[in-house]
Amino acid sequence: MAVFMARRLVISIFTLLAASFIVFWGTSIAGDPMADLRGLQDEGQAQQQMMARRERMNLDVPVILRYFLWLGDLFTGDLGVNKFGQSVSGILAPAVSATLQLVIAATVLAIVLGVTIGIVSALRQYSGFDYTLTFAAFLFFSLPVFWVAVMLKQFGAIKFNDWLRDPTIPLPVILVFAVLSGLAWMAIAGGSRQRRLTALGVAFVATAGLLWTLSETGWFSDPGLGVIAVLVLAFGSAAGVTFLIAGFRHRPPLFAALATAAVGFVFYLASEPILEEPNWGLIFLLALVAIAVGLGIGYLLGGLQRRQAMAVGAVTAILVGGIIFVDYMLQSYGDYYGRVRGRPISTIGASTPNFRGGFWESGLDSAGHLILPTMALLLISFATYTRYTRASMLEVMNQDYVRTARSKGLTERTTVTKHAFRNALIPVTTLMAFDFGAVIGGAVITERVFGWQGMGFMFIKGLQDVDPPPVMAFFLIAGGSIVVFNMLADIAYAYLDPRIRVS
Amino acid sequence: MSTETSQPNPARGTPSDAAEGMSVVARTQGQIIRRRFFRHRAAIGGMITLGAVIILAYSSIGFGPFPGWWDKTYYSTASVVDGGRPTLSLLPSFLGGKGLRWGEHPFGQDNVGIDYFALVMRGTQQSLVVAFLIGIVSTAIGASVGATAGFFRGRTEAVLMRATDVIIAIPTLIFAAILAAAAGRAGIVALGLAIGAVTWTGLARLVRGEFLSLREKEFVEAARAAGTKSRRIIFKHIMPNTVGVIIVSATLAIAGGILLETALSYLGLGVRAPDVSLGSLISLYETAMPTRPWLFWWPGIFIVAIALSVNFIGDGLRDAFDPRQTRVRD
């Protein structure tokens, strides 16, 4: 395995080198780097600046030599200067964090949502849910990102912020949402007519009731979870995780999940002094502790189902931690709302200019800026993942080993999660690496629409200025992360498919 | 279903005739595929929509020396009527609308009074040309590279596939943007060729895979034993068996192509002013969204209509060529 990965890495590096030459060459011949100086009134000054720039960009040597000069600098850790003489690494540093945040958030969300919905869609093939999603996927494939992003700006930010001034949902809208949710759950539930109708009714009442309560109590003007919601969500996710990973047939995993949720809730009640003003290091540490606690509880309570119980405990711990995190963040919403003058969803930039706040407030600020670009990026990848997962799940469900699993009397849940799901993921991992490149391309467009000063902006500006060093810096990060994602996909592949590990 | 039993004819009663009546109607591969395609309703809808868009775009304002039926042009300004609001109305009067009406400026006018219908039609024409060019170029390159690599194996394959890997390492939009930065200045044909030159990698890999398995088949063996030249084996014996993969990919390349071209034009790297494409129109009127939303809506709707119908046609073709995973229940 290690040899396999090492060989892959070496090949990737050479591929990247060849690709970097193409990018350098393409950028260098894209136009006239002096275009902005040719129009200057003062001839003498223009001449002088041109001379300086010619010197700085090595324009007197051929493009190939210029590439090797750049490459030589790169090996000493120097990204060079742009044509105006600014250091590229100075511009790059703030740009990278903004863009990577955006790209990674969109990719992770797309994988989680796309895979989940793809599987449900495959399990309920030919249902209304399936047909609707298929159509939606086709629509998403056909949407131009920039058009959607501008629409999101108009409706997701400007109109939504206006609505937040008096956040009540009119009754007809509530009913429409409730009917839609009822229909979706009816198709997802499947099975006998009675089961489907029950699902329809329950989902309708639950959605309508929830929306009505939220609207009437003015929840949207000060969203938050509070003690009761945290309690309900923690134990709800404990039950959900148990259902997905272990099922309810044996008690120990369920007990492990409930115990983990209970420990998490107790921590939540006592966490005020620790989480008042944390930092990312502390959050990371707490997440590790949470996983350890979940694993420990699973180990202690697991009995014969120890492995399952440990998995259930760890996943529950992560989810409960996430719920607590969201609750703390929303606690500072009131302050934040006041400070941005009632417009929490932002349309421009990666953070509010000159915004200084505590950990939670600046976190909320980032989230408010991140949400719309992420949605725009999510749309395309989501469709790809849904289609791929659905196709691969359908193929797997027809395999002999799934029939064997069913015929030996396993429950449908075990068949799907243990025998089919893992195998269905194998082709999806190869998609990951491909899709990541597409998301980076999408980020260039999204950044332009939302006015982020990220890497995409750097790339477009560098290209239009015929200025290779910033473009190359962008390409190094983008290409490098594609290589990393390729490696991750390979590791996931080896984990999912034992045949690769053995050979 | 690829086969169908015809009704036995009761007038003739001999056993052999009855058996013949039960027999399967012979159809060529082409007929079977055509029948499957025409049963795919979404694909037919897509074809009708795409045809309508193409006819509308080319017949309305005309192209080259041919005049169109629309009396306004996409470059002449006029006085702005009614704030440039669109006069197109689709809501019949008994529903509270203004009745079905085309009007003076169906898609409205922009801020200097240019008829927006003519402008959008011009953009559609340009975007369609680029999209089809991308489809043709990328299919031609992808199929040739894949066929050569898959058929000749050895060093040829290694070189071609490494080159493909290098191109894949650069995100498509980035590569297309870099080439378009130079080619966009040279007009839309150069732009289409440039984008087509970077979007062929997926097809090359698919075709190579097909060739790798097909070249080991007996019929290729037989052809080779009969002394057939490589060129003839590739084009006459193997290529027809991969035509499904190629056609479906070509369709999807067109759909991807229009999205890529409009995105580049939106970024200012594709079709440049004074020429327009659907993408550059959106870029131009993006800020008009709150005040004159129609300037923003129409180009987008045309992009989605074209891309969606091409995608549906591609889906129908895929089902027709490879019915293993049809969406429509038989």
Mean pLDDT within A421-431: 87
**Judged by CB atoms within 8 Å, which residues 264-283 of B form the interface with A?**
266-269, 279, 282-283
Mean pLDDT within A182-188: 89
- Per cent of chain A over pLDDT 90 is 35
- Per cent of chain A over pLDDT 70 is 99
pLDDT category at B11 given cuts 50, 70, 90 is very low
Query: In the predicted model, is pLDDT for residue A296 greater than 90?
Result: yes
Query: In the predicted model, is pLDDT for residue B153 greater than 90?
Result: no
Query: In the predicted model, is pLDDT for residue A238 greater than 80?
Result: yes
Find the Cα–Cα–Cα–Cα dihedral A84, A86, A89, A90, rounded to 10°: -140
Mean pLDDT within A177-201: 89
Of A391, A478, A483, nearest to B325 by CB-CB distance is: A391
Task: Judge whether B288 is closer than 8 Å to chain A, CB to CB.
Answer: no
Please give the pLDDT value at position B109: 83
Q: How far is B104 from chain A (nearest CA, A)?
A: 27
Instruction: State whether B267 and A150 contact (CB < 8 Å).
Output: no
What lies within 8 Å, CB to CB, of B293 at 6+ separation is none
Most confident of A53-67, A444-458, B42-56: B42-56
Q: Which residues of A302-333 are buried (b: 16+ CB within 10 A; e: fewer)?
A: beebbebbbbbbbbbbbbbbebbbbbbbbbbb
Which residue has 């489907």 as its token pair? A196
Mean pLDDT lowest among A38-52, A226-240, A368-382, B305-319 = A38-52
A395 vs A397: CA distance, rounded Å? 6
pLDDT category at A21 given cuts 50, 70, 90 is very high
State the ipTM, two decimals: 0.85
pLDDT category at B194 given cuts 50, 70, 90 is very high
Mean pLDDT lowest among A33-42, A70-79, A139-148, A472-481 = A33-42
Higher pLDDT, A190 or A464: A464
For residue B274, whether the previous peptide bond is cis, meaning omega lies within 30 degrees of 0, is: yes
Task: Report H helices in A398-411.
Answer: 400-407
Please give the pLDDT value at position B4: 41
Tokens coding A170:
């009119």
The predicted-structure confidence for A327-372, as pLDDT tens digits, reads as follows 999 888 888 888 887 788 888 877 788 787 788 888 888 888 899 9
Query: In the predicted model, is pLDDT for residue B103 greater than 80?
Result: no
By C-alpha distance, the chain B residue nearest A32 is B182
Query: In the predicted model, is pLDDT for residue A467 greater than 60?
Result: yes
A301 vs A244: CA distance, rounded Å? 18
Q: How far is A223 from chain B (nearest CA, A)?
A: 28
Report chain B residues whose CB lies below 8 A from the CB of A154: 289-290
Of B174, B182, B296, nearest to A441 by CB-CB distance is: B174
Mean pLDDT within B212-222: 92
What lies within 8 Å, CB to CB, of A496 at 6+ separation is A422, A423, A425, A426, A429
Please give the pLDDT value at position B9: 46
Residue type at A237 in one-letter notation: S
Please provide residue A138's backbone torsions phi and psi, each rounded to the nearest 5 degrees: -65, -40
Please give the pLDDT value at position B94: 67
Q: How far is A27 from chain B (nearest CA, A)?
A: 6
A57 vs A45: CA distance, rounded Å? 18
Query: In the predicted model, is pLDDT for residue A217 greater than 80?
Result: yes
Query: In the predicted model, is pLDDT for residue B324 greater than 70?
Result: no
Instruction: State whether B304 and A463 contact (CB < 8 Å).
Output: no
Please give the pLDDT value at position A239: 94
Q: How far is B19 from chain A (nearest CA, A)?
A: 35
Of A30, A139, A154, nearest to B290 by CB-CB distance is: A154
| Burial tier of A109 (Cβ tally within 10 Å: 0-12, 13-18, 19+) | middle
Q: Which value, in Å, is the radius of gyration of the alpha carbons in chain B?
A: 25
The number of residues making up chain A comes to: 503
Instruction: State whether B182 and A29 contact (CB < 8 Å).
Output: yes
Supply the DSSP symbol for B89.
B
B175 vs B164: CA distance, rounded Å? 13
A453 vs A93: CA distance, rounded Å? 11
Decide if B236 contacts B229 (C-beta within 8 A): no
Tokens coding A192:
């006998």
Please provide residue A272's backbone torsions phi and psi, each rounded to the nearest 5 degrees: -45, -50
Tell me the whole-structure pTM to 2 decimals. Answer: 0.86
Please give the pLDDT value at position B293: 86
Higher pLDDT, A3 or A17: A17
Report chain B residues whose CB lies below 8 A from the CB of A139: 304, 308
Query: In the predicted model, is pLDDT for residue A381 greater than 90?
Result: no
Q: How far is A285 from chain B (nearest CA, A)?
A: 35
Find the Cα–Cα–Cα–Cα dihedral A445, A446, A452, A454, rounded to 10°: -60
- Extract long-range pairs of A205-210: CB within 8 Å, 24+ residues apart: A205/A178, A206/A181, A207/A177, A207/A178, A207/A181, A207/A182, A208/A174, A208/A175, A208/A177, A208/A178
pLDDT category at B6 given cuts 50, 70, 90 is very low
B109 vs A12: CA distance, rounded Å? 52
Mean pLDDT lowest among A154-158, A236-240, A295-299, B2-6 = B2-6
Please give the pLDDT value at position A95: 85
CB pairs under 8 A between A and B: 135
B225 vs B235: CA distance, rounded Å? 17
The predicted-structure confidence for B51-95, as pLDDT tens digits, reads as follows 999 999 999 888 878 888 888 888 777 777 777 777 777 766 666
Mean pLDDT within A238-265: 91
pLDDT category at A97 given cuts 50, 70, 90 is confident
Query: In the predicted model, is pLDDT for residue B98 greater than 70?
Result: no
Mean pLDDT lowest among A291-305, A442-456, A459-473, B99-113 = B99-113
